[in-house]
Structure 1
């Protein structure tokens, strides 16, 4: 990557931080070449703090590190996009993102993470755990049931009923995908390929 740190007189480039799993934009920071090299070497995001006038690794005090998953550069070679696995909230206010959005636009990906977590760390009494212990056949059957209920709601019930049934269908499909070890990303990539 040929990053143009000299485009601005301050030697800094803007860096957009995005959650690798949910794709939510978490924050904007700045890097100089030294911060970039440290980020690559340690796989934790380090910025150049303009207020502190020094390198600053996100999470150095809070423990809320941003672990690097990928780094991309824009077409002008002067802005970076870093996809991360965030540990804890990203914003100093305690919010998951520094940007105030009406709702988490990518909650479906976050829901996938929650389902994955329930699989990896089963919690007694959780609905996902109950489904998981019943096995593939029961999970697939639930997707079928929810699909039929969604169709019925679309044809004969209120918009609220339809939204609720469609939500149940998507949730159970996410559980079925996890049971089969297939991610939403795989489905998205397949849909994109088929769209071409």
Structure 2
């Protein structure tokens, strides 16, 4: 992953109108810019916000100190929510994974099974069967999603889509494609 382009103060719309609390602070929620997983929240003042924007790393206040949150994490986007004053900071990991959502967690387990096989594991059996076995299951699950949708059965749709997601994650792991690359492609399509 290459270093992101520097953010500009102007990218944070309304920076001049940010409403800080009586102590001169505003809540900043830090989340993964691709997955949306919330990692933590911190308090920022005008100085730490400006330092965050110019350095592209998250700085926060912990009275009386100003601290760097995580040196391996870089800011990708910053949004200000005026209704309930807060800042949303979308971050990207430079050299580590910080995943917490269900899809990423499942993918991590699948990769672990790939790297450290357990003979009785269904995932390991799929991976051992290679493309033929994995792709056959993706085809079957895709057809089952179609049939569940045709039948308008919400529970079956959710179940079959979950199966399709799982088998697709197995294919990604088998081909050593990082799930974050998929998230990146989805983010590009959203924009």
Please point out which of 74, 78, 103 is paired with 1:69.
74
Contact 1:71/1:83, CA 8 A, preserved across alignment: yes
TM-score normalised over the length of structure 2: 0.59
Please point out which of 89, 106, 124 is paired with 1:81.
89
**Where does 1:109-128 land on structure 2 (aligned, <5 Å)?**
109-119=104-114, 121-124=115-118, 125-128=120-123
- Deviation by residue 1:37-73 (Cα, 9 ceiling, x = unmatched): 5998796x54212xx4323555xxxxxx684133423
Q: What residue is the counterpart of 2:4 in the other structure?
A: none
CA distance in 2, matches of 1:109, 1:87: 10
Over 3 Å counting, the alpha-carbon distance change for 1:34 and 1:186 in structure 2 is closer
Q: What residue is the counterpart of 1:100 in the other structure?
A: none
Q: Which has the higher helix share?
A: 2
SS at match of 1:178: helix
Q: Does 1:30 align with 2:43?
A: yes
Unpaired runs of 5+ in structure 1? Answer: 59-64, 90-95, 97-105
Q: What residue is the counterpart of 1:53 in the other structure?
A: 64
Q: What residue is the counterpart of 1:137 in the other structure?
A: 132
Aligned length: 167
State the shift of 1:5 in Å: 8.8
CA RMSD, Structure 1 to Structure 2 (Å):
4.3
CA distance in 2, matches of 1:137, 1:87: 30
Unpaired runs of 5+ in structure 2? Answer: 1-7
SS at match of 1:135: helix
